[in-house]
Amino acid sequence: MGWPLRMQEQTLIYFVTVRCAQARLLLRPSLKTNDVVGGVLARAVERSAVELFGFSFASNHVHMLVRAPRGNLPQFMQYLLTNVSKKVGGLINWKGSFWESRYSAEPVLDEGALLGRVRYILSHGVKEGLVRSCRDWPGLSSLPEFLGRTDRSFRWFNWSRRWTVRSGHGVPDRFEARFGERQVLTITPLPLERFRRRSAWRRFVKRAHAAIEGHGRLAHQNVLGRAGVLAQDPHHRPERTKRSRRPWCHAVSARLRIAFISRYRGFVAAFAKASECWRSGELSAVFPPYAHRPFLSPPRTSLPPG
């Protein structure tokens, strides 16, 4: 079965998820891993000019709330995932595929669903019984920005510079401090009128914290703890992993959800019709908005005899 078509509209916020290969803990938090991942994320946001509203890097998956006004979400994700796989893979000595499959991105259609996704991001670590408090999660997340911190910076390790300083003793280590360039991570406030005042936003985050941690205490009598998370082997493959069906979209309103599904099905039908013409050589085929044309192989030419 093929992957579902992407219909990524420039005005919508998307909840993005991507998982590590075989659910291994390749993103297991550490000071070095957090710095490397933060540098890649900050550079990807700046380079692509996307709006990043929130994120959480778990040990084996990533969640983000992001909007791409330029329609370049695929390019942003390609840059982010490629560089995370190379740099974190080099850091933990991982040689195989880093990501399990391509990322999923579902649109968030209303305020209720958007705040629900924010709570979901905040709850990581607590809802799984890994840590007791949201602040105890040692991995990289947007929690500091949610609580009012600004201008958090990380290091982007510029590997190209290594080759300019190589000597007769070989090429320097990829993670030497002199190759780290400071990169400021920019988080965009949620575009909601009710949070126009930052004090209202901080009150929401604190209430969400209290609710998440209260539910965590009821659901998990014992937790692994911050030290236990940091001590895990990043190559470890869990015996069981949580799997859930990918939703069409995120919406509290049934009306918005039904309308989106209808619009998406129309998009798929229009794409299939245009794609059939395109693949048959009709290069004037008109694709629906937000579609990416399929790859068209050049026609084969027979070689002359002899």
Which residues constitute the domain of residue 267?
Answer: 254-293
Examine the domain organization and report whether 201 and 281 are in the same domain.
Answer: no
- Asked if pLDDT for residue 23 goes beyond 70, the answer is yes
Q: Select from 66, 70, 78 the least CA-distant residue to 103.
A: 78
Examine the domain organization and report whether 168 and 279 are in the same domain.
Answer: no
Q: What is the pLDDT of residues 168-196, one digit of tens each?
A: 566 677 788 788 889 999 999 999 999 99
Q: Which stretches of the chain are assigned E, i.e. beta strand?
A: 13-19, 51-57, 61-67, 104-108, 152-157, 180-185
Q: How confident is the model at residue 1 (pLDDT cuts 50, 70, 90)?
A: very low
Examine the domain organization and report whether 269 and 213 are in the same domain.
Answer: no
Examine the domain organization and report whether 193 and 282 are in the same domain.
Answer: no
Region 251-277 average pLDDT? 95
**CATH number of the domain to which 146 belongs:** 3.30.70.1290
Q: Is residue 79 part of a domain?
A: yes
Structural contact between residues 174 and 161, judged by C-beta atoms closer than 8 angstroms: no
Region 258-283 average pLDDT? 93
Examine the domain organization and report whether 25 and 154 are in the same domain.
Answer: yes
Domain count, the chain: 2
More confident residue, 172 or 65: 65
The predicted pLDDT at position 301 comes to 60
Examine the domain organization and report whether 66 and 197 are in the same domain.
Answer: yes
Give the angle subtended at the CA of 153 by the CAs of 155 and 190, to the nearest 5°: 130
Examine the domain organization and report whether 160 and 263 are in the same domain.
Answer: no
Examine the domain organization and report whether 276 and 220 are in the same domain.
Answer: no
Mean pLDDT of the chain: 91
Q: What is the pLDDT of residues 39-63, one digit of tens each?
A: 999 999 999 999 999 999 999 999 9
Q: Is residue 5 part of a domain?
A: no
Q: Is residue 212 part of a domain?
A: yes
Examine the domain organization and report whether 53 and 196 are in the same domain.
Answer: yes
